[in-house]
Amino acid sequence: MKARLSIGVVSLALGMLFSMPASADEVWVLPSGNQLTYDRDVGDVAVLTYRPEQGLESGQIFVVGLGGHYEGRSRYQAYWVEADDAGAACAAALVDAEGRTWRRWGLATVSFASPGFPSRLTLSRGECLSAPSGRITARPVVGAGVR
């Protein structure tokens, strides 16, 4: 009886583990060739990470309302942050959803071409408080292209 109960608990735990959405397997390739990765959720905020064209640390995009949503995606307001060595700093600092302070940041929008992954992602961003402008389209990476 005890062995059956243990097997049942292990089976339930494994079932829950494998049924949970895995966000880190969502990856897109930017025009620069760098990858944009769905890294983690902070409540309802999804954190996407990427390697900026300048600087040593990863940049991050905090997408408000996307956290935990793996279907039914559309257009979201966001903000991006990068380390000071990636470019010019803003006049005011920003504190992100995880409590870290940044001096290089800006507003952004993130739009998905389809409601679920794999889907193209279009990013527009502005510096500091400037409205997002321009468009960067990232293509989904599936299979062996993830690094």
pLDDT for position 11: 38
- Which has the closest alpha carbon to 61: 126, 119, 115, 143? 126
Residue 88 neighbours by CB under 8 Å, 6+ apart: 104, 127
CA atoms within 13 A on the CB side of 38: 25
The full set of domains in the chain, from first to last, is 23-142 (2.40.128)
Residue type, 37: T
The whole-number pLDDT of residue 138 equals 97
pLDDT of residue 3: 47
Q: How do the pLDDT tens digits run along the chain, 147 residues long? A: 544 434 443 333 333 333 334 445 899 999 999 999 999 999 999 999 999 888 889 999 999 999 999 999 999 999 999 999 999 999 999 999 999 999 999 999 999 999 999 999 999 999 999 999 999 999 999 876 555
pLDDT at 24: 58
Whether residue 41 contacts residue 20, with contact meaning beta carbons closer than 8 Å, is answered with: no
pLDDT of the residue at 54? 84
Residue 14 in tokens: 């494994």
Would you tell me how many other CB atoms lie within 10 Å of the CB of residue 98?
11
The DSSP element (H or E) to which 120 belongs, if any, is: none
